[in-house]
Chains A and B, each alone.
Chain A
Amino acid sequence: MKLLTHNLLTSHVRGLRPGGGYPLGIQATEVKLSPVDFNAQFVARMVPKVQWAALLQAAQSLGHGSDLPPEPAPGYESDEDFLRRLHHVLLEVEVVEGILRCPDSGHEFPITKGIPNMLLAEEET
């Protein structure tokens, strides 16, 4: 599971307040780094699409918090150094084994072989 993916994921446990299932906390037991071709334009287009605070939090939990600024600076589209660091965090850091935790309910979704299992039991949906 890449951090770009994680940024889009939310918990849908029943009874949560709106937004109560996001962002999911990451507790990783196995992380790997997978090289991905860098495309500046692609990465730049990701910036408005991601929730920055959630991305920061996720990066921090995996030890990459210092790679990113607290906010994207104006003119980031042409800041290659920033884009490369963002590229690395979004696309190259992968959680292979671990747990995603719903912030409000505490429900845990396992990640196995890089695949998050977001299924809920019938009574939880």
Chain B
Amino acid sequence: MEKEASQLEKDHVHHVYEKIAPHFSDARYKAWPKVQKFISNQELGSLIADIGCGNGKYLHINSKVYKLGCDYCFPLVETARNDGHEVMLCHSLCLPYRNECFDAVLSIAVIHHFSTKERRMQAIKEMARILRIGGQIMIYVWAMEQNRRKFEKQDIFVPWNPSPPSCASGNPCSRGIWKLINQKDKKLALNQHSHKSDGPLEAHRKAKSSSYVGEKEIMCTLFEKSLRWSLVSKSLGSALDLSNQWHQGEICTYCTYNFHLSEPDRKKDFEQTRQSSFMKYISNLLPSCRPISEDNAFEVAVEPGPLVSYHSVAFKSCSKLSQDTKQLQVAADITHDCSSVCLPDLVSHNKDPAVTQQLKIDHHPKQATFCRPQNKSKISSSLEGTGREDTISTQNKQQQTSSNGACLRYYHVFKKGELAELIEHQVPELRIIHSYFDHANWCVIAEKTPGGNI
């Protein structure tokens, strides 16, 4: 069990963070104010350990204290080092510090990556060990209960989006992209929708297409980001967001636009049937438009479940027809990538026999192994217990080697009260001072007491 838990964490925490480390310096990863305050309040000359410091975003706070960061991920640690911080490489379950040598300890968004209760407890106990009596520890973990939606399960895999559109930085956000596309190409798309290879219109379309190339490429890149973000940001617990007409309309428009970049002489009826099924599916997936934030865990959460490649089907068919159309290839890549994310319960939404048939043919062997329907219940429940480990580790290995490998991070999201209960029952040497909800996290501040085993 330990070995499997450790392997799961290797595949879906460590390897992922190593891959995505270069992207961690984005502005969106700002320090949470309450954590900053906790550090700032430590008195002059305090020794503070940031366990799981990542790229060191908390290590610059309060120059009057000595901060030591550590993390399992070398690229992240290296980033922190390059910023001049004292950091090291180590594992949270085996901290290389002597007993009771720190005045304060931070564990911000770390222990939710441990895949068993025992390991989470061990991590907390290790941190309690290095804390001096009277010293305080602050722990943040992702909450299962979010403001707007709720995860259905506690053990989940969250895909990584390397570059969501950023409204703040001045780049067009996805909303803006939709508008752009809508304005510029809706007419084109609608025209094409009702005409086949009409001579003058064909020429007109080609002419228009070429003049838009630059814009389209930009929009495509931005769209790529939005689409990726949209496709993977369905939260488990949310109902299908059918009320979001704006997004439905826009994505239909864009997809129509894309489809009509391909050759006109395809089997239109079949295509349209598949297209409309796909449209329905995609439009049902889209959440409302807001910038993605690392703070808000659930925005990107999906649950391991049955494999769906049927949205890749629709795009694949188009990309086959027009291989040199960049947008379609990009879109195909994205959906293929996202299809490895195993969005749940999709087969049941689609009654189209053509798509179902195609689904069987296009079922990607590598992706499938992670998301075999019969294993859904095994993965989605807690990782305690026997009989699942082989399945999980095998699947995870194969998932990891999927060439399109959407980076999936494992999380155990905490229920309300779970973190506090874990500490109260398993870590008697810590006394909880404050327990609260902050930015989609359950948080605890606790003090080290003389009691309990060290």
Q: Spell out A's residues near B (CB within 8 Å).
A: 1-2, 4-5, 8-12, 22, 39, 41-42, 44-46, 49, 51, 109, 113-120, 122, 125
Q: Which residues of A contact B101 (CB under 8 A)?
A: 8, 49
A22 CA to B101 CA, complexed, in Å: 13
Interface size on B, residues (CB 8 A): 28
Grouping DSSP codes into helix (H, G, I), strand (E, B) and loop, the B interface class, with mixed when no group exceeds half, is: mixed
Q: Which residues of A contact B91 (CB under 8 A)?
A: 119-120, 125
In contact, A115 and B45 (Cβ under 8 angstroms): no
Does residue B133 face the partner (Cβ distance < 8 Å to A)?
Answer: no
**Contacts A10-B97, A117-B89, A125-B94; is A5 near B44 (CB within 8 Å)?**
no
Q: Which residues of B contact A118 (CB under 8 A)?
A: 70, 88-90, 96
Does residue B68 face the partner (Cβ distance < 8 Å to A)?
Answer: yes
Q: Which residues of B contact A11 (CB under 8 A)?
A: 96
Name the residue of chain B whose CB is nearest to the CB of A39.
B64
Q: Which residues of A contact B6 (CB under 8 A)?
A: 122
Q: Which residues of A contact B98 (CB under 8 A)?
A: 8-10, 22, 51
Top 5 A-B residue pairs of the complex, sorted by shortest distance between their CB atoms? A45-B45, A118-B96, A118-B90, A116-B88, A117-B89
In contact, B45 and A46 (Cβ under 8 angstroms): yes
In contact, B77 and A115 (Cβ under 8 angstroms): yes
Binary interface encoding of chain B residues 356-378 relative to chain A, with 1 for a CB under 8 A from any of its CBs, else 0: 00000000000000000000000
In contact, A5 and B86 (Cβ under 8 angstroms): yes
Q: Which residues of A contact B93 (CB under 8 A)?
A: 125
Partner of B94, one of A4, A12, A117: A12
Partner of A9, one of B66, B78, B97: B97
Within residues 59 to 107 of chain B, which ones have a CB less than 8 A from any CB in chain A? 64, 66, 68, 70, 72, 74, 77-78, 81, 86-91, 93-98, 101-102
A119 CA to B93 CA, complexed, in Å: 11
Does residue B47 face the partner (Cβ distance < 8 Å to A)?
Answer: yes
Q: How far, in Å, is A35 (CB) from chain B's closest CB?
A: 12
Partner of B89, one of A4, A8, A49, A119: A119
In contact, A9 and B96 (Cβ under 8 angstroms): yes
Q: Which residues of B contact A42 (CB under 8 A)?
A: 44-45, 64, 66
Q: Which residues of A contact B45 (CB under 8 A)?
A: 41-42, 44-46, 49
